[in-house]
Amino acid sequence: MSASSLERGLASLAADESGVLRFSGKVIGPEVVQLRADGEKALARCQERRCEIDLAGVENANSMLLSLLLCWQRFAAEKGVDLRFSGANERLVALATMSRVSGHLPGLASL
C-alpha cells in the first residue's frame, strides 16, 4: 500500500508503506462522520485479512473517538478483516475500560 493520507480538519489517517494505518490528531464532532467513511475505505483496501491502526498520534480521548473505533471494528468484522489497535494513550485506554468497551477493541487492554 502506498503512503497516502486522508486528512479531515484536526485528525488524519495515513497508510504507511507497511500497511499500518496511522491515526493522529484530535477527533472533534464535525469531522467524525467523514473520518468514519475514510477509515472504512482504508480498511476495505487492506491487502491482507489483517489490519492495524496505530493510535500513538491521537491527542485526545472522548466518547466520539471510542464510537469511531467501535464503528471501524464492526466494519472490519463484517468484511472479515482482523483489526487490531496499537499505541493507544493511557487516557483512551482508561476511557475504554471505564466505558466497558475495551474488550471489543483488540489492543486496547488495560495498561
User: Which pLDDT band holds residue 1 (cuts at 50, 70, 90)?
Assistant: very low
Q: 29-67 burial, b for 16+ CB within 10 Å, e for fewer?
A: eebbeebbebbbebbeebeeeebbbbbeebebbbeebbe
The model scores a pTM over 0.75: yes
47-103 per-position pLDDT tens digit: 778 999 999 999 999 999 999 999 999 999 999 999 999 999 999 999 999 999 999
CB 24 within 8 A of CB 11: yes
